[in-house]
Chain A
Amino acid sequence: MASKYRLSKPRGFKFAHFYDRRKSAMKKRMTARTIRATTMVAFLALVVVGLMTRLAPGTLSSLGIRSIALVCPLGALEIMIASRSVIPLAITSLLCIILVGLVLGKVFCAWICPVPLTRMLSSQSRGPEPEPLTIAAIRPESPLQPSIFHSDRPSRIRLDSRFLVLLGTLATTAVVGFPVFCLICPIGLTCATIIGLWRLIGFNEPSWLLLVFPVVLALELLVFRKWCRRLCPLGALFSLISALNTNLRPKVDKQKCLRTSQGLDCTNCKDACCEEIDLHHAEQSSPLSECTKCRDCADACPAGAIGFRKNAKTKLTKTESSHTD
């Protein structure tokens, strides 16, 4: 196993083999991002399907077929508070979303919500690729602190500023009697802008919303920055549910990881994570309930040491051990 990463090449700092692996990992990362961008665009495209046909698939506010629908969990809470009534489809939607959250965690945030698309676009225009990693750069001067991994148990819940916004949203909704966050929800504004453009072109219905909504969106996503991590009340709800998700989590294969197997100071997985999860330092990390399963860490890992399935690690170690035997 160790021979795979032995620093056998005497010439130069560039660790050629390592660099190749990283380059292929970068390629893979592009595809993972591309798949995510595709699913996000596909969900947005449902809006266009609703505009072109009479199938009424709905928007992300509530998706459905005929009389069956999945209402946005925040919207479901808001309308039940605003109307002070129990709404059957809102309850079933909440239950379904809790079930999905138990199995897949906060997967909505990285695979369905259109907001990260803006982040993807802005990060792509950020300039050239970083310099290839060199062994010299990540060889620590003193031995590394031993890694403290996240536990396999349900993760802790971090009550952060998003929960403040969530509470504020629900309280305001109770007072004013209508779902107030829906008016500024970036997902809703995105869908509304698409619909507004369609109405302008197809029905000659110009509206100020075509100017106002994009400006509000830009304010929320560019001026506030880090909307997802600091402010999004929908993300806060998903984090609550995701705490109990233990089967789909990033896991480090200690025998492959450059930190644990070679003592190198590689922080690619930590640097790639937009939720500030550090797989190697559980104390300083965001809780695993914040993981959106975006796979950026797995794709950034030069050694391919990060997997998401519950038994991925053990399977790998079994095959490795059978090789060494």
Chain B
Amino acid sequence: MDYRIGLNRRDFVSATGLVVGLVSLGAVVKLLPADVHLIRPPGGQDEDGFVALCTRCDRCRSICPTQAIAPARLEDGLLAVRSPKLDFRLGWCTFCGRCAEVCPTGALPSYKAECFEFAGLPDEVFCKTQLKLGVAVINRDRCIAWAGPSVCTICSTKCPYQAITLDEYGRPLVDLDLCNGCGVCENLCPSSRLLSYQGGLRRGIEVSALETKGL
């Protein structure tokens, strides 16, 4: 076997151009801070480790039984585009572990879970894990119970992890230790429908990524 360099000037120029493009793309993506905090499927919470391993193969999105996993869009950042994010408007996470099972690269590592049935949502089986996807935050201006005289207890009765309690006035409060960001509350919160005449798409309770927990 003899080796031969087959490189003419034109090819060299276009290849160098492409490599320069790749380097600058990598630098731009790395240096520009992503201002959107995406909620990743369970196990993908270490963002740097996750983007290093994700090949954007779409398998976790496809297998998710509640269809809570959506492909990130260009608006979610150049680095994130095509990678999986959780959209609790579409579904919630039961921590069933199927996404981790099909992830070929370990971007979503498999985890131990103890599964239980929850009377509030009889069609689903939820699992208890050590993982935290994010944490539910109540938007007091949008929450029916916080904003007005009406009573709404959907989030507290439907929370499979009993992380939402009601205060003395019947307003929901999130227990930050118990909440694992499963998204049931955000999915079922009726405020954007009930407040549709006021406009706005924000719901009374929404899951935030862990980095924005303090806000």
Contact = CB atoms under 8 A, between A and B. Distances in A.
A304 B20 CA distance: 45
Interface in A119-159: 153-159
Find the residue from B18, B58, B82, B104 having the highest chain A CB count within 10 A. B104
Contact of B15 (A64, A83, A162, A184): A162
B19 A209 contact: no
A212 B53 contact: no
Given A159-B7, A177-B52, A231-B14, A64 B104 contact: yes
B119 interface: no
A109 to B, nearest CB: 17
Contacts of A83: 49, 52-53
Given A67-B102, A164-B16, A58 B59 contact: yes
Interface stretch (B60-68, B134-142, B205-213): B60-68
B82 A192 contact: yes
A267 B64 CA distance: 54
Contacts of B21: 184
Interface in A48-85: 50-51, 53-59, 61-64, 66-67, 69-72, 75, 79, 82-83
A300 interface: no
A133 to B, nearest CB: 30
Contact of B74 (A71, A79, A157, A208): A208
A259 B102 CA distance: 54
Interface residues of B, number: 55
B57 A58 contact: yes
B51 interface: yes
Contacts of B58: 47, 50, 56, 58-59, 61, 191, 195
Interface in B161-176: none
> Which range contains the number of A residues in contact with the other chain?
35 or more
Nearest to A287: B4
A156 B105 CA distance: 33
Interface stretch (B23-31, B124-132, B192-200): B23-31
Interface stretch (A8-16, A28-36, A167-175): A167-175
A27 interface: no
B206 to A, nearest CB: 18
Nearest to A154: B1
Interface in B142-166: none
B104 A71 contact: yes
Interface of A: 47, 50-51, 53-59, 61-64, 66-67, 69-72, 75, 79, 82-83, 87, 89-90, 93, 153-162, 164-165, 168-169, 172-173, 175-184, 188, 191-192, 195-196, 199, 203, 205, 207-209, 212, 224, 230-231, 243, 286-287
